Structure formats: C-alpha cells, structure tokens
C-alpha cells in the first residue's frame, strides 16, 4: 500500500464531522508530530471551506505549520455509508513555486465497510476501483518526485503559480482551468453584481402553517394548488420573483403571473427579486440557469455532502448586462420554452428555429443565446417524442393484426417528418412549406453526416416503405411480413435516437 492510501487509513481512525473540532485537531497534531518535511492531510471538504470559527481555527493551524503544495479531491471515500466528500492536502515545510490540484470524478469503491457506530470510526479500507488506484498512484508520484502527472479517464490534474494561490480557497475545483477561464470571460464583458440589480431574499421560519412553494412545485403554468406546510415562512412571493434552490442551483423557477393566494417561499430557497431595468426577469432567470452561471457557481460552491451556494456568493454573483437584442430574445425564448399555450406548440417552436436569428455580438451573450436556443431544440425533441408515442402504439396494433403494409407506411411517414424537420433546422428553411419538393432519399443523403452509422438504417426504412407503392406491391408482397416490419421498426428507433428522440416506447 502506498503512502497515500496509508494516509487515508490513518484519517479513518478519527471520528468524522463530530460537533466540536477536537478530533480534527488531534488528527492534525498527530500528523505534525510525526516529523518529516512533507506529508499529506485528509479532511472533509467542508472543514477546509467552512467559515465557521472552529474550522477557521483549524485552517490557521495548518498554515502555521505547513505550506500548501497540493489540494486533491478524493471523493466520497466513505460511500455507501456516508456521502461526505473529502480532500487531501499535500503539505511541506518549504514554500513551493507551483501548487498542484486534482479532481477525481469516478467511483471510489462499491464495497461496504465495517463501521463502529458508537464512535463514528470507519475501519479497514475496502477494495478500491481501478480508476481511484490510478489517481492515488499519480498523487504518490507528486509526493515522491514533484513531477506533474498526466490526467486520466476518471481524474484531471492541473497546477497554478504559487502567487495565484488563495489561502481562503482550499478547494481544487476553484482552480480548475475551465472555471477560471469562464469567470475571466464574464468579467471581460460589462457586468454588475447581482445585489446591484436585484433583492436577494432568504425566507425566515414563522410559527404557523403557510402555503409554501418548494422545488417539487416548480412547473409551468403556476401550480393551481399549493399544499400548506407546517414549517411556514415570512416571505410572500410576487410576480417576477426568481426562486433558486440553495442546495442545487440548477433547480430554479420564475413566477410569471401574480400568485393566486398568499404563497410563500420554502426555507431552502433563495428568492431573487429584480429591481433594475438593466435586466428582465426572463433574462436573469435564463442567465442564472446558463452553463456560464453554473460554472461560476461550481467554482464557489461549499459543502461536503450537498454542494450549496452561499448567500455571499449569490450577492457577489457577476451578471453580464444584456444588450436590447439579448433581452428581447431571452423573453421570446423563455415563452417558447415554458409558456406555450397554442394548439400546435411544435409549429410555434419551429417558426423560431427555422428562421435565421441575429445573434448578439458579445461573446458571453452570443454563447448564452446559442445555448438557450439549443435548450429549445431539446425541448422540442421531448415534445415530438411524446407525440410519437401514440404513433408507435398504433404501429404495434398494426403488427398484432398483421396489418404489415400499414405498419411500413406509418414508419416511413414518421421517418420523413422527423428528418425533414431536422433538415429544416439545419438549413434554416421550412421544407414543409417550401416548393422544393425534396425527396426522402435526398433528405437522408443531406443528413448523412448527422445520421452517421444510422444513414443506412434510414435508407432501409425508406426502401421498405416504398414496397407498398402500387407498382412495387405485386412483386414485393412476399417480402412484407412480421420480421421485415420488426426490422424496419428497430431501424426507425435507432434513427430517432440519433436525432435525440428516445421517449417513443
């Protein structure tokens, strides 16, 4: 067993996350008294990122005795018994010129371990996954040779200059190159702090039941009925409020109408109330859901079980000020994503997608609008999948009664509609309304790059559909049977899967 695994085993001799930090201090003193100019320390991530007084005291003790040479995420090493995330610090007596970082994204182990429940101590390391062993071996290489290892399938390594290291950020994710670059890109554009353009409110508990909106109620249009909660709060919701889960920032909701009753926010939500004409509620909502914003949140997230966004992070959250074009497109896209009420929502979405769009010039805003348009495409695919369910049920009924020709006709019709729709999106031209009279064979050929290995399957569906044409029917009747139909149906589903439509069965 290498030194790294021995260090993890040694940490397991001390109880995890007890109320006081006495055990953490005892562990730190134990390691420090062992001598040596270089060693590793293992702590729950929350201990290294928390601003609680006792954890700040522990962090100061680390800095007093050691210089940080590396910070490595080592994942949930106590799973499945506990979901606490851990970090490993490589520390030494001399100041390094480079600080190394590592993140492990794979599975540590799936084997249960014995636990002494009275003390909270976990004993005996279980068999580790191959990926985790490679990761710890790479950290061992840093410890022994100070050479930067290569990243692997389940992990990445990177480094920063010592001058760029922030003692208050003992979190490997904070220094991840793509997250650093993402924040730099935000700050290269005109931006403001979130609290400059919106109130950021936190619900407070009150001693009476109230109708309380929680994450489970996030759906459009606004829910007609909201259950009463025994744990009421003081924060009454208004039209234009943006709700964000404090535990998972990807879960959010925009209130687009005046709530029907006195509805309040649940305790695990932040409520963002826009108060500036610089942004619209729709833009701010979509921006905070965007990959750009989520990457920023990931860089500053706290916690070792749930990755939470703090109020401080939210207050200082940089919001790119949108152009008039970005604001206009945001409102239109939000409505098409969440509020479509027409009898033919697919046609409404296609009207937007088939029309060439003028994109914002600024990099972040361009990327933002492009991402939301892609979300609209994905939303349409889900809608199409739901619609096609009834068609596939009809195909199955045809197979049961041996209506094989009807089966092939339906399969061919589905293929033609889906591929013509796909080509219309790519060419920004509505081939359903145009006079081009484009043939299905040509559509498949034009989409061969997108279809990839499914190109021949699409041609197979087309060819078998053509067997029911009058001039082909007599000579091909012997070919139309259950096996042929099953093969056509299988090929069609593969083509739909390649398109991104999978919810059909």
**Average pLDDT of the chain?**
89
Average pLDDT, stretch 103-127?
65
Query: Left, alpha or beta for 428 (phi > 0: left; psi -120 to 50: alpha)?
Result: left
Per-residue pLDDT reduced to its tens digit, 163-201: 999 988 999 999 999 999 999 999 999 999 999 999 999
pLDDT (0 to 100) of residue 117: 47
- For residues 426-447, give the mean pLDDT: 91
Over range 5-22, report the average pLDDT: 80
Distance CA 264, CA 210 (A): 7
Place of tokens 């499945």: 80
Q: What pLDDT is attached to residue 118?
A: 46
pLDDT greater than 60 at residue 436: yes
Whether the per-residue pLDDT at 477 is higher than 80: the answer is: no
Long-range contacts of 121-125 (CB under 8 A, 24+ apart): 121/12, 121/13, 121/14, 121/15, 122/12, 122/16, 122/78, 122/81, 123/12, 123/13, 125/5, 125/8, 125/9, 125/12
Lowest-confidence pick of 123-137, 244-258, 330-344, 409-423:
123-137
Q: DSSP code of 202?
A: -
**pLDDT given for residue 227 in this prediction:** 86
Answer whether residue 71 shows pLDDT above 90: yes
**What predicted TM-score, i.e. pTM, was given to this entire model?**
0.87
- For the ranges 59-68, 107-116, 174-183, the lowest mean pLDDT is seen at 107-116
CB of 313 closer than 8 Å to CB of 174: no
Which candidate, 100, 111, 95, 38, places its Cα nearest to that of 73? 100
pLDDT of residue 442 exceeding 80, the answer is yes
Tell me what pLDDT residue 42 has: 93
pLDDT of residue 378: 94
The CATH number of the structural domain formed by 192-320 is: 3.90.220.20
Residue 101 is encoded by which pair of tokens? Answer: 């970082």
**What pLDDT is attached to residue 185?**
96
**What pLDDT digit, counting tens, does each position of 381-397 carry?**
999 999 999 999 999 99
Is the pLDDT confidence value at 474 over 70? no
**Which whole number is the average pLDDT over 235-240?**
96
Tell me: pLDDT of 1 over 60. no
Whether omega before 145 lies within 30 degrees of 0, making that bond cis, reads no
Angle, in degrees to the nearest 10, between helices 363-400 and 177-187: 120
Using alpha carbons, select from 160, 193, 175, 155 the residue that is nearest to residue 300.
175
Pairing status of strand 67-75 against strand 98-104: parallel
């Amino acid at each position: 067993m290498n030194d790294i695994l021995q260090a993890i085993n040694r940490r397991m001799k001390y109880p995890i996350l007890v109320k006081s930090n006495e055990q953490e201090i005892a562990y730190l003193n134990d390691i420090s008294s062992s001598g040596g100019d270089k060693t590793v320390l293992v702590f729950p991530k929350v201990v290294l990122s928390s601003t609680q007084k006792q954890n700040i005291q522990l962090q100061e003790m680390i800095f007093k005795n050691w210089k940080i040479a590396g910070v490595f995420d080592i994942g949930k090493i106590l799973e499945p018994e506990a979901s606490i995330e851990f970090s490993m610090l490589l520390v030494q007596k001399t100041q390094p010129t480079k600080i190394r970082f590592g993140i492990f994204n794979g599975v540590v182990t799936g084997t249960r371990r014995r636990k002494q429940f009275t003390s909270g101590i976990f004993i005996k390391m279980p068999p580790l996954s191959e990926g985790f062993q490679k990761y710890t071996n790479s950290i061992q290489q840093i410890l022994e040779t100070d050479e930067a290892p290569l990243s692997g399938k389940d992990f990445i390594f990177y480094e920063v200059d010592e001058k760029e290291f922030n003692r208050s950020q003992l979190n490997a994710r904070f220094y991840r190159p793509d997250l650093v670059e993402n924040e730099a890109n935000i700050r290269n554009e005109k931006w403001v702090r979130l609290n400059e353009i919106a109130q950021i409110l936190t619900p407070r508990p009150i001693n009476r039941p109230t109708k309380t909106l929680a994450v489970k109620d996030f759906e459009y249009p606004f829910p007609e009925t909201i259950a009463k909660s025994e744990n009421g709060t003081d924060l009454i919701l208004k039209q234009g409020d943006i709700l964000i889960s404090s535990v998972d920032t990807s879960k959010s909701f925009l209130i687009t109408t005046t709530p029907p009753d006195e509805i309040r926010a649940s305790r695990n939500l932040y409520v963002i109330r826009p108060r500036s004409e610089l942004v619209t509620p729709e833009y701010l909502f979509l921006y905070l859901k965007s990959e750009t914003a989520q990457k920023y949140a990931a860089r500053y997230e706290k916690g070792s079980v749930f990755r939470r966004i703090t109020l401080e992070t939210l207050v200082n959250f940089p919001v790119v000020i949108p152009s008039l074009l970005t604001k206009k497109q945001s409102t239109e896209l939000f409505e098409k994503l969440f509020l479509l009420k027409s009898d033919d929502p697919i046609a409404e979405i296609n009207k937007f997608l088939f029309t060439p769009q003028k994109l914002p010039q600024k990099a972040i805003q361009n990327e933002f609008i492009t991402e939301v348009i892609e979300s609209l495409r994905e939303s349409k695919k889900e809608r199409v999948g739901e619609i096609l369910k009834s068609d596939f049920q009809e195909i199955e009924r045809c197979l049961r009664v041996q209506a094989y020709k009807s089966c092939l006709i339906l399969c061919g019709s589905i293929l033609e509609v889906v591929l013509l729709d796909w080509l219309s999106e790519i060419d920004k031209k509505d081939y359903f309304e145009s006079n081009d009279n484009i043939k299905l064979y040509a559509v498949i050929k034009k989409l061969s790059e997108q279809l990839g290995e499914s190109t021949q399957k699409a041609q197979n569906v087309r060819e078998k559909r053509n067997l029911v044409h009058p001039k082909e029917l007599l000579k091909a009747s012997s070919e139309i049977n259950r096996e042929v139909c099953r093969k056509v149906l299988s090929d069609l589903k593969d083509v739909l899967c390649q398109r991104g439509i999978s919810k059909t069965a």
